[in-house]
Amino acid sequence: MRIAMVGTGYVGLVSGACFSDFGHDVVCIDKDDRKIAQLHHGIMPIYEPGLENLVAANMRAGRLTFTTDLAEAVRGADAVFIAVGTPSRRGDGHADLTYVFAAAQEIARAVTGPCVVVTKSTVPVGTGDEVERIVRAANPDAAIKVVSNPEFLREGAAIEDFKRPDRVVVGTEDDDAREVMRAIYRPLSLNQSAPVFFTGRRTSELIKYAANAFLAVKITFINEIADLCEQVGADVQQVARGIGMDKRIGPKFLNAGPGYGGSCFPKDTLALLKTGADCETPLRIVEATVQVNEGRKRAMGRKVVKALGGDVRGRTIAVLGLTFKPNTDDMRDAPSLALIRSLQDAGARVRAYDPEGVEQARGMVEGVDFAEGPYAAVEGADAMVIVTEWDEFRALDLPRIATMLKVPLMVDLRNIYTEDEAAQAGIRLVGIGRKASAMHAFPAELATAAAR
C-alpha cells in the first residue's frame, strides 16, 4: 500500500517507520525544513528506543522517505494519515484542531484519485465529521473517505506497541474504507497480533479519550491510597499487588508516584472534560482526577521540604530524572517541573540530571544546574530525590552516595529502593505510601548537619 503520513512528531514518525517496516511504501511529510533535513541524515527529532535503527533500515530499503511537499506526497496515495499535534487550546482547554483542519484542507486539494484520509491524531468526538465537511468543501468531486484510527502508543515502548498491539481501533461506516484499513494492518494478523476492531467513527474517537481517562483515574486512585497508607502504617506496594491480583482490576498503572504527566493524559483528560461540559454531561470522576493530579505534583516538593525538617532555604537538592517517564525525552507536563518550582519557591537550589531530557528541560525551567551524571548531581547536595525511574537509577551505589551527600537522605518518589537497602548504606529513605517506620520525624542530628 502507498501511505502518506502528515506530521513527523512522535505519532507520525513512529507510525510511518513501522508501516514501512511492514512493507508498505511510506512518505512522511512535515513543514519544518530543518526537521526533514535532519531525518534525511538519520537524526531523530525525538528519543525513542529502536527508532533510529528502524528508520535507517527502511530508508535504505527505499520504503521510507521524507519530504516537505505535501501535494506531491499524497498524490496517488491509498491512504493519508493525519498525525499532527492537538495541544490544549489556550483559554478553554479544548483540543486545538487548527493543524488537523489545515492538513485536511491541503490534502483534499492535492488528492487526485480514490483515497482514505485517516485521523491518527487524538481528536474529540465529531472531529471526523468536520474533517469530512472540510474535504467535501475543498474538493467536492474527490472520492475521499474519512476514517478514525486513534493511536495507543506508550512512549518508550512505541515500536513494540505498534507491532504487537492490544487492539487496533478503526472507526468507519464505509465498506471500501474498511477494506483499505484491513489491508494496511494485515501484517499484524500474520504476527498473530490483535485483530482490527471496527466501529463507528464517533465511537472510535471516544475510545481513545475514554481509555486515557480511565488510566489517569487508576493512577490517581493509587496515589491517594498511597497517602492513606502513610497515615495508617500500610504499604502501598503491597496494597497495589493485592488489588492488582484481582483480574477485574489488573496490576498495571498501580505504581504510586508523583502524578502523571506527558503528552497524552493531561491534555486528553482536559479535552474530555470540555466535551462533557459542551454536551451537558459532566464527568465528575475525571474532573476530580485532574484536580488531584495537579495538586500532587507540587505536594511532592512539600514532601521533600518536610523530609529535610521543614526548611530548605539555601540548600541544594539533587533531582534524578526529569522526563515524565523513562525511555523518552518528553518533558511535557512532567511532574519534575512542578516539583522543581515548588523547591525553588521554598528557597532551595536544584541540581538535576536526566539521561535524555536535559535539552528539553533547559527551555522549561530556570535556575537549575544540570549535571553530567547521577553522582555529579548528588555530590555535596543536602538530599536527593528520584523523580523518574530510569534503569540507571535502579542500581545506584548507595554507600557511595551516602558519603557524597551532606545529609544522607533519599526521597524516592518511585519506590525503587527498600528501607533496608537504604539503611544498610547509611541513608534515610522517604518513599511513597510506605509504613510509618519509614516516615519518622527528621532526626535532630540530620537537621544539624543540614544546617551547616
**Which residues are known catalytic residues?**
264
Three-state DSSP at 146 gives strand
Half-sphere exposure of 286 (CA within 13 A, CB side): 23
* DSSP assignment of 70-83: HHHHHTT-SEEEE-
- What is the edge-to-edge ordering of all strands in the sheet holding 409-412? 368-370, 349-353, 316-320, 383-386, 409-412, 428-430
Give Cα 234 to chain centroid, integer Å. 30
Q: Which three cell numbers stand for residue 69?
A: 511537499
> Alpha-carbon distance 186 to 188, whole Å?
5
- Looking only at Cα atoms, what is the longest distance across the chain? 80
Q: Which three cell numbers stand for residue 402?
A: 551516602
Neighbouring residues of 205: CB distance < 8 A, sequence distance ≥ 6: 119, 123, 124, 125, 126, 127, 128, 148, 150, 171
Backbone φ, ψ for residue 212 (5° rounding): -65, -40
